[in-house]
Amino acid sequence: MREIVFDTETTGFKFSEGDRLVEIGCVELVNRVETGATFHAYFNPGRSMPKEAEAVHGLSDAFLADKPAFHTAIDDLLAFIGDSPLVAHNANFDFGFLNGELGACGRDAICLSRMVDTLAIARSRHPGAKHTLDALCVRFGIDRSRRVLHGALLDAQLLAQVYVELMGGRQIGFGLDATPTLVAEVVETVAPSRVRPPRQFSASAAELAVHAAFVGTLKDPLWGQSPT
């Protein structure tokens, strides 16, 4: 089972009001295990960056000035995410910007049936608790020390760990209600071990002579006594 965990950074809250996507980070999971494959890109939004947004993610007009426009990375992005489910925190926000940018480039929107919202999952699993990414990292003991500012790839990597914990941890396939095929898929990815023949460690003639001499010095050994 392949899934993509992703996060975005933007110039504001609403694509419909002129805000734009400026960063996207994607992390690949297979059977809820990170494969190490990622996609990460910055984009020039074609507009100024509000100070409030820059304070959140640190992406300034100067930094984004030489970055490409979103449409230049569409093919690479779509090839990476493929037809996999897309996992995001408060996913309606991220899907809104991603589909907004795709629509602006004349591309089809990504179907919302592929959306997995970790915020909704967290609310259902832990009602009444805090459900921010930071709060969930604390709940599950996930190291977030590098998260000084929001960053799409770092946040996606943290969210991938949170998502795994929300879905029951890394023991996928070992529960009583798990799907057996998932276990088989994991096992098949492990390289088979090589069987080595047993080794023979025979004592040399010199070693046997030393051993016999030592045994000859023993006084009244147990194996030399008659049974009573």
The catalytic residue positions are 150
Query: Tokens standing for 186?
Result: 């994991």
Question: Other C-beta atoms within 10 Å of 43: how many?
Answer: 23
Question: Other C-beta atoms within 10 Å of 11: how many?
Answer: 24
Instruction: Output b/e per residue, 133-166; b: 16+ Cβ within 10 A.
Output: beebbebeebebeeeeebbbbbbbbbbbbbbbbb
Where residue 58 falls (left for φ over 0; alpha for ψ -120 to 50; beta otherwise) is left
User: Cα–Cα distance between 129 and 120 in angstroms, integer?
Assistant: 12
